Structure formats: C-alpha cells, structure tokens
A and B are shown apart, each in its own frame.
Chain A
Amino acid sequence: MTPDEEREFLRRRKARNWVVAGTLIFFVVLFYAITIVRIGGQG
C-alpha cells in the first residue's frame, strides 16, 4: 500500500466508523423513546 492509499484507507474506515457509531447512538435513543412511550401507554 502506498502512503496515499494508506491515508485514503484510514480516511474511509474512520468515516464509516463515525457513521456506524452515529447510527447506533441514534437507535439507542430511539428505542429508549419507544420504550418510554409504550410503557406510558401512549402508543
């Protein structure tokens, strides 16, 4: 792998990791909110 390829490799992996992390956090919050609504009997 050339230095340029390695930089690109790391950039892509880092960007994907951020997107996966953001998606996971979003779903944690969403499931928490769904649970609160369901338990509260508002669904």
Chain B
Amino acid sequence: MTVALLAHNADETMASTAIQTAPNATGTQMPTEWRDFFTLTKPRVMTLVIFTAICGVLAAPGSIHPVLGFTAILAIAMGAGGSAALNHWWEADIDAGMKRTMNRPLPGGRMRREDARDFGIFLSAVSVGLMGVAIGWLAAALLLGAVIYYAVIYTMWLKPRTPQNIVIGGGAGAFPPLIGWVAVTGEITAMPLLLFAIIFFWTPPHFWALALFVQSDYAKVGIPMLPVVAGEKVTRRQIMIYTLLLAPIAIAPWYIGGTSWIYGSVAVVLSALFVALAMPVFTRMRADEDKMLPEKALFKFSIVYLFVLFAALVADRVAAYQGWIA
C-alpha cells in the first residue's frame, strides 16, 4: 500500500499541474465556485446516507433531543461529504478518463487538487469533532472509522486491486444507520449491526445489476469491476448469492425480537420479491439487441427495497415506542 501511495503522489504532482485551474497572464488564480465544493460531497449519494442515518436515529430505543439528533445526522452527512471529497481528490486521474466523471470539478479543471484534499480533510475532521463534542466519542470513533474505511481502505487501497471492490465499498455505505443508532443509545448491539449488514449485503446486487446494463469506462482506467474482470456469468451468480444472503439478514431484526410483525411482514414480502427478481437475472444470458429488462427491473426494485425496508423499520419502532403495538 505504501508503494501505491508513493506512486500515486508522484503521479499527482504531474496531474495537479495538468488539471488545476490555470492562472491567467497576471498569475491570479480564479477562485473556485462554491458549488464545485458542494459537488465534491456527492450530494446524490448523501441523500441515501442522510435517509439511513435518520432511520437509525428514529428506530433506536430511547430518545434524543431534536437538536442533538439533528447534529448527529449533520455530522454523519459531513463525514460522508468529507470522505467523498477525498475520493474525488484521489481519483481525479481516473475520473478524467471516464465519460461519466470527466466533468467533475477536478478533471474539469475548475479546482486545484490540493483544495479538494484540504476540503475533504477539514470536513471529515470537523464532522468527527462535532459528533464527539455534541453526541459522544463512541459515535465519533465509528464516524472516523467510516471515513477511513471509505477514503483509505476502499478508495485508495482495495478499489483498484480487487473485483470485489463493490462488496467492500458497501461497508462504507452501511455505517450511517449504525452511527445514527449509536448516537442515541451510546452502545453497539445486535440491531444496529444488522442494519449495517443489510446495507452491506444489499449493495452488491444493487450495483452489479446496474453494471450489467450500463456500459462503464472502468476497464479503460484500470479499475477491476467484476463484470469486466470475471464476466457476466460470474456477476449474475454473485448477484444471486448476495441476494440469498441478504434475505435472512433483512428478516433477522424480526426473528431476534428486535421488531414486531409490521417490519417482519414487510421484510418477508420485499425479500421474496428481491429473490424473485434476481432469479431471472441469474438464469439468463445477454442476447443480441437485449434490452436487459430483468436487470433494469432488479436495479430499480433494489432502490425501492432499501427505502421501504428502512421506512418500515422506523414505522415499526415508532409504533412500539408509542405503545400502539405490543
């Protein structure tokens, strides 16, 4: 890893010269638009982070003052934004080589690379400090772990090295409900770990279904995505395996007694539908002029699945805490 970091830094010196916002004839640097700093935080990804973090806070037993609940979610969002900015900084060269990402602030030449790095470090540090001071240091330590997991372990280390990168990346997205829950309770128990596991096992079928029908440039820039490295057949099998692993984990909060029948019945129905939609993706192969309808259906459903499952969890827990159900 050290060798890779050093090699990357050597590349960066050259790249930052090539892609930074060029000073004009008088040597004055045009200030970066604030919107470009906002773009660095990957706002679209953040909506899922904020949603699952809110679910973690609302579903946890106990209460938290609204100001502190808001602060916890803000800190989680800032940590996600900071690590996303570090991801932009590290992958600027890769982004420049792909159509989908070539207009991001760094490859688009609208921002200096060091500014993205400093912004990411600053945002991450403030998020952890804010969480520690306002909420507690266990939640802050988890948030720091999430930032390091995404920015260092996933982005810098494993993403360019293994076709299982999406599985590992799923871990980063799985932290928000865990941290949200711990912010309320101050302890790590089976329930928040199950919420972590649900997102962890949901990510591979969600992303690989997309990867099957969207032509990406990852191969061109040397990122070993599973469909490119191992082929379609292996990817389809892996989608099925992770879907089958996800189903019992999604239902687990109910049968360990952490939720009532409300969540349990929703989880059973949704998981059965997920398996039913993954089955045709697993059993078929691409034909000529294939519209990839089963893959598209699975991808769309996977988004609905996660939102409805977490919404059901919150509805279940709120109903239980209010005494509406046993």
Stretch at the interface among B26-34, B232-240, B315-323: B26-34
Closest CB of chain B to A14's CB: distance in Å? Answer: 9
- Whole-angstrom distance between the alpha carbons of A34 and B136 in the complex? 13
B-facing residues in A1-41 (Cβ within 8 Å): 1, 5, 8-9, 12-13, 15-16, 19, 30, 33-34, 37-38
Evaluate contact between B134 and A34: CB separation under 8 angstroms. yes
Chain B 128-146, CB-CB to A under 8 Å as 1, else 0, gives 0000011000000000000
A16 touches B34 (CB 8 A): yes
Task: Give the distance to chain A from B81, nearest Cβ to Cβ, in Å.
Answer: 13
Interface readout for B11-53 with A: 1 if CB under 8 Å, 0 if not?
A: 0000000000000111010111110000000000000000000
Q: Are B65 and A19 in contact (CB under 8 A)?
A: no
- Whole-angstrom distance between the Cβ of B17 and the nearest chain A Cβ: 21
Give Cα distance in the complex from A33 to B65, angstroms: 11
Indicate whether B68 reaches chain A with its CB closer than 8 angstroms: yes
Find chain A residues with CB under 8 A from B71 CB.
30, 34
Q: How far is the CB of A27 from chain B (nearest CB, A)?
A: 9
Q: Which residues of A contact B34 (CB under 8 A)?
A: 15-16, 19
Interface size class of B (residues with CB under 8 A): 10 to 19
Q: Is B67 part of the binding interface, using a Cβ–Cβ cutoff of 8 Å?
A: yes
Complex Cα distance A41/B74, Å?
A: 21
In the complex the two chains form, is A8's CB within 8 Å of B68's CB?
Answer: no
In whole angstroms, how far apart are the Cα atoms of A24 and B32 in the complex? 19
Contacts of B68 in A (CB 8 A): 34, 37, 43
Interface residue from B30, B32, B133, B134 paired with A8 (Cβ < 8 Å): B30
- Chain A residues near B32: list those with CB within 8 A: 12, 16
Q: Which residues of A contact B74 (CB under 8 A)?
A: 30
What distance in Å separates the Cβ of A2 from its nearest Cβ neighbour in chain B?
Answer: 8
* Residue from the list B30, B65, B67, B133 in contact with A9, Cβ < 8 A: B30
B212-241 toward A: CB 8 Å interface, digit per residue (1/0)? 000000000000000000000000000000
From B24, B30, B134, contact of A12 by CB (8 A): B30
How far apart sit A31 and B322, CA to CA, in the bound complex (Å)? Answer: 30
**Residue in A closest to B126 when the chains form the complex, CB atoms:** A27
Are B28 and A12 in contact (CB-based, < 8 A)?
no
A31, chain B: closest CB distance, angstroms: 8
CA distance A22 to B234 in the complex (A): 50
Check if A16 sits within 8 Å of B67, measured CB to CB. no
Q: Residue on A with the closest CB to B133?
A: A34
Instruction: Please state if B30 and A34 are interface contacts (CB–CB under 8 Å).
Output: no
Q: Could you list 22 A-B pairs, sorted by A, with CB under 8 Å?
A: A1-B24, A1-B25, A1-B26, A1-B28, A9-B28, A12-B31, A12-B33, A15-B33, A16-B32, A19-B34, A30-B67, A30-B71, A34-B71, A34-B133, A34-B134, A37-B65, A37-B68, A38-B134, A42-B65, A43-B64, A43-B65, A43-B68
Chain B contact residues, CB within 8 Å of chain A: 24-26, 28, 30-34, 64-65, 67-68, 71, 74, 133-134
Interface residues, chain A, CB within 8 Å of chain B?
1, 5, 8-9, 12-13, 15-16, 19, 30, 33-34, 37-38, 42-43
